A and B are shown apart, each in its own frame.
Chain A
Amino acid sequence: MSTAQRTAPLSVAIGAIGAVQNAIFPAVAAALGTGIGGSGLLIGLGVGIAATIIGSAFSYFGWRRTTYTVGDQDIRVESGIFSRSARSVPYERIQDVSLAAKPLPRLFGLVAVKFETGAGGSDDLTLEYLAAPEAERLRQLVRERRDDDPARTPDARGEAPHEAAPADTMLFAMTTRRLLTFGLFEFSLAVFAVLGGLLQYADNLIGADIWNVDLWRVWFEEQGSTLAAIGPNAQAAGAFAGVAALVLIGMTTGIVRTVLRDWGFTLTRSARGFRRQRGLLTRTDVVMPVHRVQALVIGTGMLRYRFGWHSLRFVSLAQDDAGESHVVVPFAQMDELAPVVGAAGFRLPDEETKWQRASTRHRTDAAALEAAAFALLAIPVALFAPPGFALIPLGLAVVMVAANLYAWEFRRLALDPEQVFMTTGLFAPSTSIATRVKLHSVELAQGPMARLRGYATLHLGLAGGTFAFAGIPLAEARAVRARLLSTIAATDYSRIEGGAEPARDHALSDAQPGFSANLRAT
């Protein structure tokens, strides 16, 4: 088992196809740059072929020189054509093994295997590409090796039956109908940004200066005179059609993006943890061990909140591509979220929860400061803009005051014996729930204003995320801190994390039986 292995040979083919893609632009550029007629075309073709050959050669030698070894303690990957690198990742430090199949590798039955260590982003160890069965075998193996960890007590091991225990329960799945609804709420005008980018590219290519204001003004004046000629009704109809087109484009973009990302979304609960599969073209398969979940974030959007739609994320050291916490339920009603929250060993706040609010002084100060910013903005506007325009920032200042005063009602913090709850947000309230024992430090921060007015910001050290609540009266903040610390300090880290965060894996060698519900659940 501990011999060095290569990744799938077909990876070379994928690398070669990538090289062809990469060769297109230099080839076109070379062809255009040397004059499109006659010899330019040949030169372009030559550049393209050369780029393809070089890229493919790199891909081939890269594959030749990349080996991975599945050892007793760790996984080692050696790679590099000219400068070699050898990386070893101990099993205990692997947060989860995720598989991602992009469209092209998927055609060949290949997947990229990523060992998430919590180091974040590109620092994680990735093997590109392995045959799907081999990848699945590797994943099982990593789990088994972790289970064989001598630190596990017999009873903990007994509860984590060896592998592929078929008792997987489906926690959440997206139906097509749900997916489309979700897409509607994911309204996005990002397509215009892409178009803008393309235009700029075209600008370089065709030489029309699209950022030249005069060009547009002339164009608008021409169009404007045409518009003026067609009468007010037609103008209104045109404006309406424009807005409708915009909305249509935004919704289509939203639906397309959502379908691509969340097609066939399923979340299952297995013996080892949560497993999430999603994606239409790029299919990803992520496993999240339950005890690694540090906190939950329930989010929503301004509009979707009115319809009761929420999303749920798990905060842990492992993250989705964009550095965001893993989405486990993208779009669901609260009663659908509740079982997932329960399965992760958390509780939602209920009527019993005793909420604390931020200091009213903080409310006043925040409102005053934001209003002052807009009021200051009004001065230059009043001086330089046509009369009347200064009313806009002044009006905004009033709106800011009202929003701040009202939003205060929605900023709440609560402690229960095991968890900390926080909700913020006026139009799209989001709730964070953290486990008290899994916090790492507690800080009270005060700026000059806060010291003058006697309130503080509470920062909790959370692995993989942040948790901060501003403007609690100092005495209350201190009381909260004392309560949190009494929980945190009572439990050594090694006891709470069966597999623990990266740096503390040494400490887990005396994981004790029956410590936390989370550990037991794994």
Chain B
Amino acid sequence: MEPLAATSPPDAAVDDDGELTRLHPNYAHALRLHAVLAAIPALTAALVCEYWLADQELLPAGLVAGAVLLIALALVIRVPQSRYNARGYQLGGDRLRVVRGLLFRSDTVVPFGRVQHIDVDQGPIDRLFGIATLTLHTAGNHNASISLPGLGEPLAREMREEIRAHIRRESM
């Protein structure tokens, strides 16, 4: 399990070359489970298609289902780990940096002083793996909310408290 001490000391700097804090390892598993759930309808459709094509004798048997299965396997086995590796965050004394994206990278910094409110969400799968999503809301049109998924649930709550402490007189 991830140590709680991962929250940085208040004077920690956020810099572009600094090492990103990795997310909870269970996040990769959660992503994988999401991928499996998403693959099931596609595979079912492929099998139905296969069944229907078997009568027509147009394509060799197993071509459609096989192709879909290969893609699904890649999405389940390879991609979640890459996505997990691509994500990370840096918690500074006065700002949070969130890095995400495999093909389309995005690297966002939110100063705590601009946070409007903070959410900690847990879906059913998140609960299964003991992780949570921390979402910071800002007033800007772009990046109106910045979410950081895949934090250990206790850590997410601790980060929320820490960020909240920086928002002056916030009445949540």
Contacts and interface: CB of A to CB of B under 8 A. Distances in A.
Interface of A: 317, 439-448, 451, 456, 459-468, 478, 481-482, 485, 488-489, 491-494, 501-504, 506-507, 509-510
User: For this complex, into which size category does the number of interface residues on chain B fall?
Assistant: 20 to 34
Given A451-B105, A489-B113, A503-B117, A463 B139 contact: yes
A485 B95 contact: yes
Interface string B157-168: 000000000011
B169 A441 contact: no
Given A489-B112, A503-B137, 11 more contacts: A442-B109, A445-B104, A445-B105, A446-B106, A461-B114, A461-B138, A461-B140, A485-B109, A492-B113, A493-B168, A503-B117
A507 B143 contact: no
User: A-side binding surface: helix, strand, loop or mixed?
Assistant: mixed
Interface string B116-134: 1100000000000000000
A112 to B, nearest CB: 26
Interface in B144-172: 144, 146, 167-171
A444 B107 contact: yes
Contacts of A456: 107
A314 to B, nearest CB: 15
Given A493-B113, A507-B167, A461 B142 contact: yes
A331 to B, nearest CB: 26
B108 A443 contact: yes
Which of A461, A478, A481 has most B Cβ within 10 Å?
Answer: A461
A439 B113 CA distance: 11
Contacts of B106: 443-446
B170 A448 contact: no
5 contacts: A440-B114, A444-B107, A456-B107, A488-B113, A488-B114
- Cβ-closest 4 pairs across A and B: A461-B140, A440-B140, A489-B111, A440-B138
User: Which one of B15, B108, B113 has the highest number of Cβ atoms from chain A below 10 Å of its Cβ?
Assistant: B113
B95 A489 contact: yes
Given A441-B108, A494-B168, A503-B116, A462 B103 contact: no
B19 interface: no
Nearest to A485: B109
